[in-house]
A and B are shown apart, each in its own frame.
Chain A
Amino acid sequence: MKRLNGRKPGELRPVVVKAGVIEQADGSALVSMGKTTAVAAVYGPAILHPRRLQLSDRTFLKTVYAMAPFSTTERVRPGRSRRGTEICMVTRHALEPALFLEENPKAGIGVYIDILQADSGTRTAGINAASVALADAGISMRDLVTSVAVGKVDGEYFLDLEGEEEDVTKCDLPIAYMPRGKKITLLQMDGDMPAKDIKELLNLAVKGCEILYEKQKQALKERWLVK
């Protein structure tokens, strides 16, 4: 099967990464991968309220993922959803290993991800944006977190699936990856496939993440470099 818009199997969608898009936030970023656009805003570390959430040995990381009502062809009902709650959790788990949360006990960091336009891969775009926003906010990090989804369509391994491809794939695999330490911080699978496919797909996803990593670094440099 040929890919839509003539992409090669191992090619990402056109990626745009911008840091510092929201002035009021301590740190922010916009990531768009093809027709999927995510904006992340980071606040803190700051005093955390309500107090019962404070952790005595580390910073509390709060992640909020929300899709805009107009982000898809059918209106998305705003507010909590089963899917949204799950994505909040996996995003938090994907970002936590990159942070030095033990530095500011009892404080809280808030990461707010909004999906402005959705065309598959919203959690991966959200994680990419959140990691750039965290770095932009001057929060201590081991590395940036990059994220991309891969899948198998008609016997071929495709990188960064878009909406129509995701609809026909039997199985897709979103991952988050810290390139410096070569660590995977998120691995989900929707569908099933043989073990050898997963190995191939992981290799492909890691390659995609390396490219995204450079884009993220470039965006941060553009924001902070002395002109």
Chain B
Amino acid sequence: MSELLKKDRELVIPGDEIIRSMDFLPGKNCFREGNSIYTKKIGLVSVNRRVISVIPLSGVYIPKAGDMVLGEVIDIQNNGWVIDIKSVSEAFLPLSGVREFIDTSKTDLSKVYGMGDVVYAKISGTGATSVYLTMQDSRSRKLRSGRVVKMSPAKVPRLIGKEGSMINLIKNKTNCMISIGQNGLVWFEGEKESKVIDAIGLIEREAVVDGLTDKVSKLLEG
């Protein structure tokens, strides 16, 4: 087996060769050309047994089934709602994805979710160019008040932290309710809303710095 040309967790630029070997498989954000595996995106190398993948540092949100996202209703059709989730395509929330039964002959769909309403929904599945949402999840709901900010989707894992450590810290220190969409939209409502914005800004700017939790905690106390 041949050696890795790049270390685990090393920064790679599109076109960088990670390994020259047929014993490994190209995973996420990687591709094979000849005997070598190269990276498609700017990111950090991640080696999991024999699969080489790259964790991206930037880029738009790519929908994945099971993710929770925040989105805005941009169109109403006779069998559901079109939702803008700030991704490569629109998402569709069909009537079957709503918890209660709706009789379309009696109810106006815009009374359930109107244009411009913001929903916190789960991605139930994805097709080649389509994304389906569902509200059949205990976390899903329509957001009636509060604020929404956008951050880089690549940095959402840092906002959440290990097993939610970072987000719980922010929730406790600011006394806010926070809902994070994997697509980079974050909803919150509570006492110190401006502190939440500051914390998100700090995490976005310094996502890769060590000791981020301490810095955020200092910011929230000061």
Question: Number of contacting residues on A, CB 8 A?
Answer: 32
Interface-facing stretch out of A103-111, A122-130, A150-158, A165-173: A103-111
Interface string of B1-26 (1 = CB under 8 A from A): 00000000001011101000000000
- Whether B208 contacts A143 by the Cβ 8 Å rule is no
Most buried by A among B11, B14, B38: B14
- Tell me the minimal C-beta distance from B147 to chain A in angstroms: 20
Let me know if A144 and B15 touch, CB within 8 A.
Answer: yes
- CB-CB under 8 A for A141 and B14, given A100-B40, A106-B89, A226-B208: yes
Instruction: Tell me if B115 counts as interface (CB < 8 A to partner A).
Output: no
Cα(A46)–Cα(B62), bound, Å: 10
Asked whether A142 is an interface residue with its Cβ less than 8 Å from the other chain, the reply is yes
Contact A142 B13 (CB under 8 A): no
Q: Which residue on A lies nearest to B62, using beta carbons?
A: A104
Question: Is B154's CB within 8 Å of the partner chain A?
Answer: yes
Q: Is the interface of B mostly helix, strand, loop or mixed?
A: loop
Does the CB pair B60–A140 fall under 8 Å? Answer: no
Interface pair B42/A226, CB less than 8 Å apart: no
Whether A136 contacts B89 by the Cβ 8 Å rule is: no
Tell me if A196 is interfacial: C-beta within 8 Å of chain B.
no
Bound form: Cα–Cα A143–B36 in Å: 14
- Other-chain contact of B56, A107, A138, A142 (Cβ < 8 Å): A138
- B149 proximity list for chain A (CB < 8 A): none
B110 at the interface (CB under 8 A from A): no
Give the docked Cα–Cα distance between A104 and B40 (Å): 14
A interface residues, Cβ below 8 angstroms from B: 26-27, 44-47, 56, 100, 104-107, 135-144, 178, 180-181, 217, 220-221, 224-227
A138, A142, A225 interface centre (most CB from chain B within 10 Å): A138
Give 1 or 0 for each of B29-68: 1 = CB within 8 Å of chain A CB: 1010100001011110000000000001111100000000
CB-based nearest B residue for A56: B129
Nearest-neighbour CB distance to chain B for A30, whole angstroms, equals: 17
The answer to whether B128 touches A105, judged by C-beta atoms less than 8 angstroms apart, is yes
Q: Determine the distance from Cα of A198 to Cα of B128 in the docked complex, in whole angstroms.
A: 45
| A-B complex: 9 closest residue pairs judged by Cβ atoms | A138-B59, A143-B15, A138-B58, A141-B14, A140-B40, A107-B88, A104-B88, A226-B208, A180-B15
A-B contacts, 18 listed (Cβ < 8 Å)? A44-B88, A47-B88, A47-B90, A56-B129, A104-B88, A135-B14, A138-B42, A138-B56, A140-B14, A141-B40, A142-B40, A143-B14, A144-B14, A144-B15, A178-B15, A217-B13, A220-B42, A224-B57
